[in-house]
Structure 1
Amino acid sequence: MGNLFGALENWVKLQDEYRCFFCIVDWHALTTAYEESLNIKANVREMVLDWLSCGIDPEKSVVFKQSDVKEHAELHLLLSMITPLSWLERVPTYKERLQQPEGRNLATYGFLGYPLLQAADILLYKADAVPVGEDQAPHIEFTREVARRFNYLYDQKVFPEPATILNEYKLVPGLDNRKMSKSYNNVIEISVPPEDIPSHVRKMITDPGRIRKNDPGNPQICSIYAFHRIFNQQELSKIEAACQEGQIGCVECKNNLSGYMQSYLAPIFEKRRELEKDPQAI
């Protein structure tokens, strides 16, 4: 679901304004899950189902798999010849992930170099702009630096420096109030049936300082409130005031959120179920 609001909703809108290329980056999956390569084919299919059910339209945009276009790897190789190692080492997400317990060794060239592979994914198509979440903005700045260096070294404007198109939602929280990420095991999948939504919402972290129902709460540190920002904007100020004044309990607030989430996600789930009936089309 983090991908839905962190990327897909924006992508669907951009289809009507730009010629869009949506790449399923299966090689990128190997940078952190190299021991699970047998799962990649199934994961690609699940990703395509998610994209199509959320509104990505192959009639409007180009949807393709990274490994089907070998030039991605070729450009990555060429860019690696001119990119200083220090540029890769200073990428914020690289340093953050190395400090997290992953259960696997991420001190590999593939993991260090994945921002450069991402840059190749972008520069290969001479993209003017890239829609990303706020956490990915440093990667686009890195891509601009790589393009600038390549153009300077060879005295030709081969690659444009792509602009960043930030998504509306800077950060979609997970069940534990950290960024929603499969790495943290705190996600709600787009494929979850609507009837299962309440069981996921019940796991969400609320204000730890709120012991009793009528205690004043702090919505700003509550993941439930963060999701109300997405699913229930029309009542946001009312919910905030009720929480701060102890007029609504966390259980009631979660139940209300579940209802809004179910209403929003039900059409997506139904479309996904229809698409699953025709595996060949996928």
Structure 2
Amino acid sequence: MRILSGMRPTGKLHIGHLVGALENWVRLQEEGNECFYFVADWHALTTHYDDVSRLKEYTRDLVRGFLACGIDPEKSVVFVQSGVKEHAELALLFSMIVSVSRLERIPTYKEIKKELNYKDLSTAGFLIYPVLQAADILIYKAEGVPVGEDQVYHIELTREIARRFNHLYAEVFPEPDAILSRVPKLPGTDGRKMSKSYGNIINLEISEIELERTILRMMTDPARVRRTDPGNPENCPVWRYHQAFDISEEESKWVWEGCTTAKIGCVDCKRLLLKNMKKKLIPIWENFSRIDEDPRYVDDVILEGTKRAREVARQTMEEVRKAMNLMF
């Protein structure tokens, strides 16, 4: 299966990216799929057009994070969106066959405008970013797209665009399916939605000492006011983190019984979480250190991956132009 997914370079990677996306990417890679993973720098401009001062830095750092988490450039194509101009050409052509009213009905359009109400998002670029997203996917003829729950609607729009293009012109594109991760959404450390603006994220490159401080301060079940009060793991963000960080069946039973009967305290529960988090994060931290030993490595990966992506994109655009009777 051909797989495609990407991330916007708007800041440092955090553990939500790891368990919500990157682990899924690595699994799909190791299962022998043909994977294309990219930095969506044009998508970053849809909401961060007014400050591009760190765009190049964040782009490189995102690729660095992909590699540290296990994306292998020998097995997967790792590239930067703006390095493949064909994405923009296909997005322009797709925009001819999608109505404005259809784009305005996309749930995330209103949700993001509400969430970022301090920004002027009344731009054409923000309105049509789902069309660019469809171009990102279809230009590689991807069959599967690993996404979060909030992006499933966008995959449906992509399928609609593929069907409409195929009907109007010629059978060029497959209809891709969304692939959800094992942990589609991880809450912030305070139980709310994970967001930089809330200050409730845990950066992937957090130090071991700071990780301990952060986890030990995490919000737990509000019903457990005292150590002797029983709790309900379903009401506790720590329980969600346990599930994301490979708690064993035996450990899971210990946490559940201990919490609901008040046999263990919240600190005991968090210490177990820390153990399992470190088991997963320490190899990633070591990978970051190895990657940083060669200052050219990340750039070399980007250049080679973008070249490979461009070759595939050019072939698709030749088919598109032929189907639409575009001469050049």
TM class, shorter-chain normalised?
over 0.9
Q: CA deviation at 1:202?
A: 3.1
Query: Is the Cα–Cα contact under 8 Å of residues 130 and 164 in structure 1 kept in the other structure?
Result: yes
Counterpart residue identity of residue 55, structure 1: G
- Counterpart of 2:102 (choices 62, 66, 87) is 87
Shift of 1:183: 5.3
- Does residue 273 of structure 1 match 2:255? no
Partner Cα separation in structure 2 for residue 96 and residue 161 of structure 1: 26
**For 1:48-197, what aligned pairs fall within 5 Å after superposition?**
48-154=63-169, 156-182=170-196, 184-197=198-211
Q: Distance in 1 between matches of 2:217 and 2:105?
A: 35
Is 1:218 the equivalent of 2:232? yes
Cα distance change on mapping 1:43 and 1:102 into 2, 3 Å: farther
Q: Does 1:199 align with 2:216?
A: no
2:272 matched to 1:256? yes
The TM-score with structure 1 as length reference comes to 0.94
RMSD: 1.7
* Cα distance between partner residues in 2 of 1:149 and 1:201: 49
Show the counterpart of 2:3.
none
* Structure 1 gaps, min length 5: none
Distance 1:80 1:185 in 2: 37
**Structure 1 residue 102: Cα displacement:** 4.9
More displaced, 243-252 or 271-280? Answer: 243-252
Contact 1:151 1:158 in 2 (8 A): yes
The CA deviation at 1:201 is 1.4
Query: Matches of 1:203 and 1:59 in 2, distance apart?
Result: 40
Does the Cα contact within 8 Å between 1:88 and 1:113 map onto a contact in 2? yes
Contact 2:247 2:276 (8 Å CA) reproduced: no
Contact 1:195 1:262 in 2 (8 A): no
CA distance 1:81–1:180, shift in 2 (3 Å): same
**Residue aligned with 1:130, SS:** strand
Deviation (angstroms), 1:232: 4.2
Structure 2: gaps of 5 or more residues:
1-14, 299-328
> Which AA in structure 2 matches 1:40?
L
- CA shift for structure 1 position 169: 1.2
Cα separation, 2, equivalents of 1:134 and 1:41: 28
Aligned-pair distance for 1:205? 2.2
Residues 47-56 or 246-255, more deviating: 246-255
Separation in structure 2 between the aligned mates of residue 278 and residue 237 of structure 1, nearest angstrom: 44
User: What is the rounded CA distance, in whole Å, between the counterparts of 1:246 and 1:88 in structure 2?
Assistant: 50
Q: Is the 8 A contact 1:218 1:244 kept in 2?
A: yes
1:39-50 superposed matches below 5 A: 39-50=54-65
Alignment CA distance shift 1:203-1:119 (3 Å): farther
Contact map agreement 1:49 1:272 (CA 8 A) in 2: yes
Q: Distance in 2 between matches of 1:212 and 1:236?
A: 22
Following the alignment from structure 1 to structure 2, what is the Cα–Cα distance between the partners of residues 50 and 106?
Answer: 29
Letter in 2 for 1:145: E
Q: Percent identity?
A: 52
Where 2:190 maps in the other structure, the secondary structure is coil
> Does residue 7 of structure 2 align to residue 9 of structure 1?
no
Q: TM-score scaled to structure 2, two decimals?
A: 0.81
Alignment length (residue pairs) = 281
Structure 1 window deviating more from structure 2 (243-252 vs 211-220): it is: 243-252
2:260 matches 1:236? no
For residue 178 of structure 2, give the secondary structure of its aligned residue in structure 1. strand
